[in-house]
């Protein structure tokens, strides 16, 4: 454990600004003397005590609740003191400053500082200590941040399940099965004359098959959980006045983007996160795509940003105006956009051709009418007909966006997950596939089999932090808020 993890820490644990209640939290070892200085008395463990929270002269900074959680029965596993006062920023800053000053003061009874080394906590340091003191594992620690940041009800409920340890239990079951298989293989290496019979009698192949099947089930739920957390980025693109801003407003159910008949009204990126069945979709409205004269510098920058968003999208809604299909100038511009998409859009990104303004009574024109051919190396465009004005066809579009995201429904019972968890499980799967190849070769590759199983366990351990580099921990906990 690093030396900084031995320091006592303090922070304001509630969000900045005014509120009914604010909390100052202290964590460390041996807080009794600090408690006496701040509260004027000892506190019963885990019992809220109301009274003055004292300054250096014994006067009251505020009256509030004080709670003392002796180690190890606390959030961090260390002694924890929580001061709950009125939630004004000045009051909380005064309490924070008093904690730091009181910790440095010499205690008359001992002749020593009350709490040597007390310092301001770094972002996420309280939760980091909970992890280091085995109160939670790494996946549970991440679930705390995910619960705070959840953008949908489904994501919040799933984060709560991860925090309760459901995801960690799934990973733990995989680890136990993997360790048991490793034990069998390692044992055979010590008795080479019996290794093949030993593995066959222990059903090593069957154990590996069941392990791969179980891994596939966990990966499927993990991908769904990651989708609940991350969502997908959907970019609405197309020519000016095709109805992009109207479609964003219709999907969001609010007037977020300005809509006018004037070409080039949208000059910059407008983004809104919506939820469909609890899945967050980050929908981005972009400037109309066009070339030629009559484009000022501001609109040109907006168009460049639009292409940047398109290149980084998870899905593109390519909007067409049914009322203008067949007009030579409009069709020519459509062909230019299609050609640029072919050169700049990654092949993995799906494109949905959305034929807007169906309320105008126009028939759905075939792709050939506008000169739109499937992009080389891309799947053929899907076609949907709708009206952003009346809402007709929006439900079908929402359903298709969920399908493109890979959502399979049934959010109840899912746990939240992160992309790094998905990647770690994918690595486990790759090592198990190689393990199966080596097991098939029997005696010739048992040492390689043992190594692949070891690497699979290492990848699995990255999820819960059974062992992990300090760099990984730093990245994870630095994203937390101070006081958590």
CA dihedral 9, 14, 17, 21 (to 10 degrees): -120
Does 265 appear as a known binding residue?
yes
Does 484 appear as a known binding residue?
yes
Does 127 appear as a known binding residue?
no
Does 389 appear as a known binding residue?
no
Does 255 appear as a known binding residue?
no
Does 458 appear as a known binding residue?
no
Does 262 appear as a known binding residue?
yes
Does 244 appear as a known binding residue?
yes
Does 71 appear as a known binding residue?
no
Interacting residues of 281 by C-beta distance below 8 A, sequence separation 6+: 231, 232, 234, 251, 273, 274, 275, 401, 405
Does 135 appear as a known binding residue?
yes
Q: For residue 58, how far is the Cα from the chain centroid?
A: 46
Does 469 appear as a known binding residue?
no
The pair of three-digit structure tokens given for residue 150, joined into one six-digit string: 């959840």
The pair of three-digit structure tokens given for residue 58, joined into one six-digit string: 């014994």
Q: How many CB atoms lie within 10 A of CB 169?
A: 11
Does 201 appear as a known binding residue?
no
Interacting residues of 10 by C-beta distance below 8 A, sequence separation 6+: 24, 25, 26, 27, 96, 99, 100, 103, 118, 119, 120, 121
Question: How would you classify the pairing of strands 19-28 and 79-87?
Answer: antiparallel
Does 188 appear as a known binding residue?
no
Does 264 appear as a known binding residue?
yes
* Euclidean distance between CA atoms 36 and 110, whole angstroms: 13
Does 260 appear as a known binding residue?
yes
Strand partners, 80: 27, 69
Does 287 appear as a known binding residue?
yes
Does 286 appear as a known binding residue?
yes
Does 478 appear as a known binding residue?
no
Backbone angles phi, psi at 349, to 5 degrees: -85, 120
Does 243 appear as a known binding residue?
yes
Select from 398, 392, 309, 403 the least CA-distant residue to 356.
392
Secondary structure in 3-state letters for 372-397: CCCCCCCCCCEEEECCCCCCCCHHHH
Feature table: binding site for (6S)-5-formyl-5,6,7,8-tetrahydrofolate: 25, 82, 135, 484
Binding site membership for GTP: which residues?
241-246, 260-266, 285-288, 356-359
Annotated binding site for K(+): 241, 260, 262, 265
Binding residues for Mg(2+): 245, 266
Name the binding residues.
25, 82, 135, 241-246, 260-266, 285-288, 356-359, 484
């Amino acid at each position: 454990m690093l030396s900084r993890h031995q320091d006592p820490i303090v922070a304001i644990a509630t969000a900045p600004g005014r509120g009914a209640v604010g909390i100052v939290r202290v964590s460390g070892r041996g807080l009794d003397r600090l408690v006496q200085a701040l509260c004027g008395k000892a506190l019963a463990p885990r019992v809220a005590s109301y009274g003055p929270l004292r300054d250096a002269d014994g006067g009251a900074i505020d009256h509030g609740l004080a709670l003392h959680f002796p180690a190890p029965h606390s959030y961090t596993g260390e002694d924890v003191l929580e001061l709950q006062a009125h939630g004004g920023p000045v009051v909380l800053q005064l309490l924070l400053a008093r904690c730091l000053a009181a910790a440095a003061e010499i205690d008359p009874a001992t002749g020593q500082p009350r709490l040597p080394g007390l310092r301001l906590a770094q972002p996420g340091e309280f939760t980091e200590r909970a992890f280091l003191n085995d109160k939670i594992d790494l996946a549970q620690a991440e679930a705390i941040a995910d619960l705070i940041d959840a953008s949908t009800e489904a994501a919040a409920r799933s984060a709560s399940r991860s925090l309760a340890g459901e995801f960690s239990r799934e990973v733990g079951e995989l680890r136990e099965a993997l360790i048991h298989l490793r034990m069998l293989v390692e044992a055979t290496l010590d008795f080479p004359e019996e290794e093949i019979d030993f593995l066959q009698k222990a059903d090593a192949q069957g154990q590996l098959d069941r392990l791969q099947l179980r891994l596939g089930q966990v990966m499927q739920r993990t991908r769904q959980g990651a989708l609940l957390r991350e969502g997908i980025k959907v970019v609405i693109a197309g020519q000016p006045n095709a109805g992009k801003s109207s479609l964003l407003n219709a999907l969001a159910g609010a007037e977020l983007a300005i809509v006018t008949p004037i070409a080039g009204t949208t000059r910059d990126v407008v983004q809104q996160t919506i939820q469909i069945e609890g899945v967050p979709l980050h929908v981005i409205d972009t400037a109309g795509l066009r070339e030629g004269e009559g484009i000022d510098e501001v609109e040109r920058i907006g168009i460049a940003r639009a292409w940047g968003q398109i290149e980084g999208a998870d899905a593109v809604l390519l909007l067409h105006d049914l009322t203008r299909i067949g007009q030579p100038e409009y069709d020519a511009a459509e062909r230019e956009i299609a050609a640029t998409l072919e050169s700049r859009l990654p092949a993995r990104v799906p494109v949905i051709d959305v034929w807007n303004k169906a309320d105008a009574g126009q028939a759905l024109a075939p792709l050939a009418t506008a000169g739109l051919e499937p992009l080389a190396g891309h799947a053929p465009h899907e076609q949907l007909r709708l009206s952003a004005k009346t809402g007709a066809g929006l439900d079908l579009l929402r359903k298709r966006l969920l399908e493109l995201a890979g959502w399979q429904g049934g959010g109840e019972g899912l746990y939240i997950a992160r992309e790094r968890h998905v990647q770690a499980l994918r690595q486990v799967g790759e090592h198990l596939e190689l393990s199966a190849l080596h097991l098939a070769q029997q005696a010739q590759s048992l040492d390689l089999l043992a190594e692949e199983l070891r690497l699979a366990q290492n990848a699995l351990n990255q999820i819960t932090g059974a062992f992990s580099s300090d760099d990984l921990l730093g990245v994870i906990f630095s994203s937390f808020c101070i006081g958590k």
